Amino acid sequence: MMGKQRLLFNLTKNKKITVLFEKYFSDTTATNNNEKTTHFGYKTVKEDDKVKEVYTVFEKVANSYDKMNDAMSFGIHRIWKDIFIQRLGPTHGSKLLDSAGGTGDITFRYLNYLKNIPNHQGVKSCVTVCDINENMLEVGKVRAKKLGWIDQNDFDIEWMQCDAEKLPFQDDSYDAYTIAFGIRNVTHIEKVLSEAYRVLTPGGCFMCLEFSHVDNNILKWFYDQYSFQIIPVLGTLIAGEWQPYQYLVESIRKFPKQEEFKQLIEAAGFRNVTHENLTCGVVAIHSGFKL
C-alpha cells in the first residue's frame, strides 16, 4: 500500500485525522462555477490563483529575503536553522532534497555540517535544492558561488525549479527531505507530504521547520502585536514591500497547530513522528521517517 492509497487508508482509519484533512487540506469551498477556493493569508482566493499569488510574493522579495529574515527575527532564524540541521545530523554520502530551498540557507548549513566532520571513506554527498520560484533559486546560486561551494570534490549541488506538490524525481531516491518555512505557502499540503514520502528511501527522514503557534499566552500577545504592527512596516522599509509580509503573518495563523500537523504527517505514512518547539513555539521542528 503506497502513495495515495496509504494516505486514504490512514485518513479513513482515524476520524480525527479525516476532520483535520478536510479543515487544512481542503480549506476550500466550491464557487458557483465549481471552482475550489483556499486561503491566501486571510483572503479567500481560487486554488489556481494561490500559486500565482505566492510566486509573486517571493519574486518581489527574493533579493531582500535573507536581510528581512535577519531583521524580522533579530537574527534568531540562524539559530533555528542551525538546530534544525543538528537534529537532522547528516552523514557523508547522504542525498538530501531541500524542498522550497530558495536562497540556500538549509543547503549551506547541510554542507557546512558535513565539511566539519571527517569523511574517512571519501564519499560524495549530494543535495538538490528545489523551489517553485526561479528568482529565489538565482539568489541561491549567487550565494553558493560567493561561499565557495561550486566545484567541490566532496559535494554536489543541483538547483531545480519545480513544484513541491509535483516533484520530478523518482521514487525512493533521497535519504533526507527538508522543507524550511515553505510548507505553509503551498496550496495542497497533503500533496507535498505525499511527494516527500514517495521520493524518500525506506528509512529516509522527513524534516520540516515552520512557524507555529506560541504556547505562552503572555508571549503570544506580544508576538501578535509585533507580527501585525511591526513586521509589515519592516517589509516596507527594507524590502519596499508591505503586502508580502502582511501575508506572512496571516499565513502563520492559518497553519495547523503542532499536534494537528503531527497527525497530518502521520496520515501521509510517516512513522516515529515528533515535533519540537523552539522559542516557545514561534517555530517548530517536525520530523518523521519512512518505515
Residues comprising the binding site for S-adenosyl-L-methionine?
Answer: 103, 131, 163-164
| Cell numbers that stand for 253 in this block | 495563523
Q: Which residues of 95-120 are buried (b: 16+ CB within 10 A; e: fewer)?
A: bbbbbbbbbbbbbbbbbebbeeeebe
Which residues are bridge partners to 37 per DSSP? 46
Residue type, 200: L
**Beta strands at 95-99 and 125-131: parallel, antiparallel or unpaired:** parallel
* Known binding positions: 103, 131, 163-164
Q: Which residues of 247-257 are buried (b: 16+ CB within 10 A; e: fewer)?
A: bbbbbbeebbe
Residue 243: CB atoms within 10 A of its CB come to: 16
Nearest in space to 102 (alpha carbons), one of 135, 67, 137, 75: 137
Is 197 within 8 Å of 268 (Cβ atoms)?
Answer: yes
State the Cα–Cα distance between residues 210 and 154, nearest whole angstrom. Answer: 30
Q: In angstroms, what CA-CA distances link 159 with 18, 132, 137, 139, 273?
A: 36, 11, 7, 11, 29
What is the secondary structure of 161-217 as a DSSP string?
Answer: E-BTTB--S-TT-EEEEEEES-GGGSS-HHHHHHHHHHHEEEEEEEEEEEE---S-H
| Cell numbers that stand for 231 in this block | 513586521
